[in-house]
A and B are shown apart, each in its own frame.
Chain A
Amino acid sequence: VDNPTDRRVLVLLDDLSLKSSHSIFFNTLKSRGFDLDFKLAEDSKLALQRYGQYLYDGLIIFAPSTERFGGSLDSKSIADFVDSGRDLILSADTAASDLIRGIATECGVDFDEDSSAMVIDHTSFSVSDVDGDHTLIAADDLVKSDVILGKTKIEAPVLFRGVAHSLNPTNNLVLKVLSASPSAYSANPSSKLSSPPQLTGSSISLVSVMQARNNARVVISGSVQLFSDRLIRSGVQKAGSPNQYEKSGNEQFVTELSKWVFHERGHLKAGNLVHHRVGETDEPAIYRIKDDLEFSVEIYEWSGKSWEPYVANDVQVQFYMMSPYVLKTLSTDKKGLFHTSFKVPDVYGVFQFKVEYEKLGYTTLSLSKQIPVRPYRHNEYERFIPTAYPYYGACFTTMAGFFVFSFVYLYHK
């Protein structure tokens, strides 16, 4: 795909009033050129595909209470939508429906099972929280990634009111973007705690992202309000903190996050994997052991408008046969070309050049190219080995001696 950024986005709402109450977020998207299509979640004409072709590149679901989508949409078709490489922003809220929870589970995110629970934090709540139950969180534990959240640091805390979720630590596809503080817990704010809360501390994730193996990106938020005009416009002061901000960090946060999720940033492409013997230019069909070879690969990064050379010093190539025999860091010419040279190991077999590049926030690169390595041919060995000269000598003297002996024996009478 020449342009990895999404263009057509379907927005599913459980109430059309959200369109105006979240207008700032939607307008930033529109201003960046996205084509938003607002639909009610119960709309009976909902369809992601027509004639086997997807109608949208991205999907925003701000319908936490929807029990059932209209039309042909269900949890599976949304999972298929993601598996086809398309992107999703899913937002739950308190009392999120099983449907929304199910979609989140498909993406590796587990919302608190207690449907009335909210994230409560008695230390890092926002002072503007009028209810006094400390459910409006001023969260500032953001993931440190320029790729996901942009180069400009988000100074103000992000306001959050909603449901907690947790991630499976062994799942390496999901990532906490906004975590709760260590003092947070998840419980029903209107009732007394009868048992210790299941989700506590910084294991609670407020906003998470998932990048699937096919580089489809998903944002899952525990709060729809996070995207709302009200919280975006609201000033923020974290309890116990002297810093007071005129505007919360929400606008920057959701904007940057939407840039990432819709592939305006952090999308790499690699190609033109080239290898050849040192001093040659053509790619051989087979290498010999101990050949010297040169390897190069081109990697570009999508800037949102064009492909720019990717610059990094941590791209590696493996020369791999069941395990890497050679592992080399590639050097770059800052024009997108990464190259190195090395000697083929003294082992024959079917090798692969493998470039596997997984870096936080970036799309995963996984390239491989098969190449066999053969042993020496029969005439590629040394013809005469200096240490064997005594044996050659012995051989020839024996032959000469035998000849002389035969001559003497036969003709000397």
Chain B
Amino acid sequence: MAALESPLPGTPTAMRNAFGNVLSVLILVLIGVLAFSIRLFSVIKYESVIHEFDPYFNYRVTQFLSKNGIYEFWNWFDDRTWYPLGRVIGGTVYPGLTLTAGTIWWGLNSLNIPLSVETVCVFTAPVFSAFASWATYLLTKEVKGSGAGLAAAALLAMVPSYISRSVAGSYDNEAVAIFALIFTFYLYIKTLNTGSLFYATLNALAYFYMVCSWGGYTFIINLIPMHVLLCIVTGRYSPRLYIAYAPLVVLGTLLAALVPVVGFNAVLTSEHFASFLVFIIIHVVALVYYIKGILSPKMFKVAVTLVVSIGMVVCFIVVAILVALVASSPTGGWSGRSLSLLDPTYASKYIPIIASVSEHQPPTWPSYFMDINVLAFLVPAGIIACFSPLSDASSFVVLYIVMSVYFSGVMVRLMLVLAPAACIMSGIALSQAFDVFTGSIKYQLGASSNSTDDAEDNTSTNNAPKDDVSAGKTDKGEEIVKERSSKKGKKKEREPADKPSVKAKIKKKALVLPLEASIVALLLLIMLGAFYVIHCVWAAAEAYSAPSIVLTSQSRDGLHVFDDFRESYAWLSHNTDVDDKVASWWDYGYQTTAMANRTVIVDNNTWNNTHIATVGTAMSSPEKAAWEIFNSLDVKYVLVVFGGLIGYPSDDINKFLWMVRIGGGVFPHIKEADYLRDGQYRIDSEATPTMLNSLMYKLSYYRFVETDGKGYDRVRRTEIGKKHFKLTHFEEVFTSHHWMVRLYKLKPPRNRIRGKAKKLKSKTSSGLSSKSAKKNPWV
């Protein structure tokens, strides 16, 4: 690190650097331990299980990978989901996470450490969050020195937003993707600072890993071009920028195209378009700089006017063609999820299936405080710190935070992308603040101990540029870079050389604060940090550690555990035939295939809207129509999740409107208005007949009145509208302990078809006559 470059070993500064480096390494190790251990609450409080929905799929895929090897995984055609369409898993999954965990498992096993696949999967996320904090350290160090780096790494290790996606057991793409994201950014900045082709290649590889891991890679491939464009526009073009960017686009795109799920999308979809446009621009700019170097200024002007006028025409034509091409596709070549990022109202207008996912909703203000806590207040200070002075690297993190704030405002899920940026900014802000305060204290103490003015001046001039360039810590690498960069532009050479020294002196004077104020401010900062730690630990322990397949609730008579999901999946796997098909809303698809090992109709990979709409339609239809739809799909069992008895709010009745919307989007005879009474969604006696006769209502509330005699729904806080009814086409086969999961079997078609209309008449008349004859002998 920096210590290796220190010029004179043996001097006190060198000693201090060496000591500082050892300390940094120690701190980083501790940060890693912290990042890992803060995520273990879920294992300690519950057990070592896979959480939620998507992780079960990833777990199942990893099991397949570890059993069958990579080629089988690549070509895996899964016939147990999306019946009867099946799903080509190898070609539709981001394989990064699975391959990572699979490799870890394989490595440990070949070292004779026999861990189960599940254990490896459970602990992948905590391990990678330690990596992510180290990557944050590296990135921030490149931007503002190692002090800021350590602060940022410590903040990231326990930022609640990231914890929410990476607790032990939360085995999801984001677990490794955030590490990949930060590391890619680090390598980009590193390349930008050093101009090394080696780092540029590493950068492309890191980008490849990111593409393998998460669809969020488009964030990288749009953010970096934007930064490049920003640098060009602000006159910061340099060969380092070219080296940082051009290889990334070429190699990165080639590598990205190797991932089956991306494939030709890497060059075809609009998400990648910006990178190619900027790729062209940077080449034009490079050419301009080159020509500028070999021509006299006068000739250059002539050439510019000539080229610009011709270039404008050519560009106009090319852009026109591109626009025409893009406009010819209905979505403009954008995927639905990306479009809803650009236009937040897009999904709710056109794609209910995207809008229906709660993590695709815009976040509320409290969620910012919950997820990034005090960082929200430190970020502005960090941004200001990045502007003094603005380097290529600091402009990148500023751009990063701005973009991620926007995206997090559109989708709550992308809060995860904001978290590292906020940590970096806050780390910079904190470390700058500490620098100023400790610097002032040192200065004041030095002044009080009557040191000479000369010495003071010397230290101040020595410290000043360091303060500016590298956040007060000695970082020769930074300075060298600075110098190198300033050599490139001949005109600009003097400006940066002169200005900082002048500015620094002014600044230095301004930076000296009174001793007492500094100490108080320091204490306040430490308190702020302490509050952050308390909040983070609380969030990790209480808010984000629930595995959501096992629920708990604290009541007066102690802790209640609701293990209904596993109970019912176990029932399914023990009591049904291997090839039976289970229909449920898509949320439970992954769990059913992974835990019950039964074929499902739709699952959380929402690739086929029509198929989901078919299930949605069945759920919103009356019993007979639903039976026909399910029977045509060979469904044997229907699973519904019902929270009315214990007050579990994310049950199927609360999701029901989305089923109606998604179903109605494809099958227009399902109309949302039929399910609403005066625009209100209700299940009490005021509910519409369509609602009360829908399959979902019936399956959820069948026999519900037997529990308390009134049929009081604790989620909707009302008595249900239709209490006593019989099922004609379905029969209840299993209801879990707390009624959270209810399983129904489709009745087989009637063995006989009864006679028509008269059946009722003859029946009732015979029944009535016999009864009345007995009861009323006078008639």
Contact flag A82-B751 (CB < 8 Å), given A102-B766, A348-B86, A350-B86: yes
Closest to B88 in A: A375
Determine the distance from Cα of A163 to Cα of B633 in the docked complex, in whole angstroms. Answer: 44
A106 contacts B88, C-beta separation under 8 Å: no
Q: Are B77 and A108 in contact (CB under 8 A)?
A: no
Contacts of A105 in B (CB 8 A): 754-755, 758-759, 762-763
Query: Which chain A residue lies CB-closest to B765?
Result: A98
Interface residues of B in 720-779 (CB under 8 A from A): 749-756, 758-759, 761-763, 765-766
Per-residue CB proximity of A97-123 to B under 8 Å, as 1/0? 010011011111110010000000000
List which B475-522 residues lie within 8 A (CB) of chain A.
Answer: none
A44 to B569, CA, bound (A): 49
Q: Confirm or deny: B529 has a beta carbon within 8 angstroms of a beta carbon on chain A.
A: no
Task: Identify A349's interface contact among B86, B599, B758, CB under 8 A.
Answer: B86
Interface positions, chain A 276-296, Cβ under 8 Å from B, are: 286
Q: Does B75 contact A (CB under 8 A)?
A: yes
Return the contact of A286 from the options B77, B599, B754 (Cβ within 8 A): B77
State the Cβ distance, A254 to closest chain B Cβ, in Å. 23
Would you call B83 an interface residue if the criterion is a C-beta within 8 Å of the partner chain's C-beta atoms? Answer: yes
Is B5 an interface residue, CB under 8 A from the partner? no
A-side binding surface: helix, strand, loop or mixed? mixed
Q: B758's closest neighbor in chain A, by CB?
A: A110
Q: Is the CB of B77 within 8 A of A375?
A: yes
Find the residue from B752, B754, B766 having the highest chain A CB count within 10 A.
Answer: B752
Chain A 167-178 near chain B by CB (<8 Å), digits 1 or 0: 010011110000
A372 contacts B by Cβ under 8 Å: yes
A residues 357-406 near B (Cβ < 8 Å) are 370, 372, 374-375, 377-378
Asked if A213 and B750 sit within 8 Å, CB to CB, the answer is yes
B678 within 8 A of A: no
A377 to B753, CA, bound (A): 48
Contacts of B763 in A (CB 8 A): 102, 105
Q: A168 — nearest CB in chain B belongs to which residue?
A: B756
A322 and B751 alpha carbons, distance in the complex (Å): 23
Q: Does B632 contact A (CB under 8 A)?
A: yes
CB interface residues, A 119-175, toward B, < 8 Å = 168, 171-174
Q: Is the CB of A378 within 8 A of B755?
A: no
- The CA of A110 and the CA of B763, in the complex, are separated in Å by 12
Query: In the complex the two chains form, is B762's CB within 8 Å of A101's CB?
Result: yes
Taking a contact as CB atoms closer than 8 A, the residue among A113, A212, A286, A374 that contacts B752 in the complex is A212
Instruction: Assess whether A216 is interfacial by the CB under 8 Å rule.
Output: yes
Is B752 touching A106 in the complex (CB atoms < 8 A)? yes
Among the listed B75, B632, B752, which residue makes an inter-chain contact with A378, where contact means beta carbons less than 8 Å apart?
B75
Q: Within 8 Å CB of A172, what residues of B?
A: 753
Contacts of A322 in B (CB 8 A): 84, 632-633
Closest to B77 in A: A374
Q: Which of chain A's residues has its CB closest to B91's CB?
A: A375
Q: Provide the B64-89 mask, 1 if CB < 8 A to any CB of A, else 0.
A: 00000000001101010001111010
Q: Which of B77, B752, B755 contacts A372 (CB 8 A)?
A: B77
A152 to B765, CA, bound (A): 44
Chain B CB within 8 A of A298 CB: no
> Which residues from chain B contact A375 at a C-beta distance below 8 Å?
77, 88
B566-606 CB mask vs A (1 if < 8 Å, else 0) is 00000000000001000000000000000000010000000
A25 within 8 A of B: no
**A110-B758, A322-B632 known; A213+B84 contact, CB < 8 A:** no
- The distance in angstroms between the C-alpha atoms of A374 and B758, with both chains bound, is 51
> A320-349, CB under 8 A of B: which get 1 and which 0?
011000000000000000000000000011
A210-B752, A213-B750, A378-B75 known; A348 and B759 CB under 8 Å?
A: no
Q: In the bound complex, do residue A113 and residue B749 qualify as a contact, i.e. CB atoms below 8 Å apart?
A: no
Residues of A within 8 A of B (CB): 79, 82-83, 98, 101-102, 104-110, 113, 168, 171-174, 210, 212-214, 216, 286, 321-322, 348-351, 370, 372, 374-375, 377-378
Interface residue ranges, B against A (CB under 8 Å): 74-75, 77, 79, 83-86, 88, 90, 579, 599, 632-633, 749-756, 758-759, 761-763, 765-766
A98-B765, A349-B85 given; 4 more Cβ-contact pairs under 8 Å: A105-B762, A212-B751, A350-B85, A378-B75
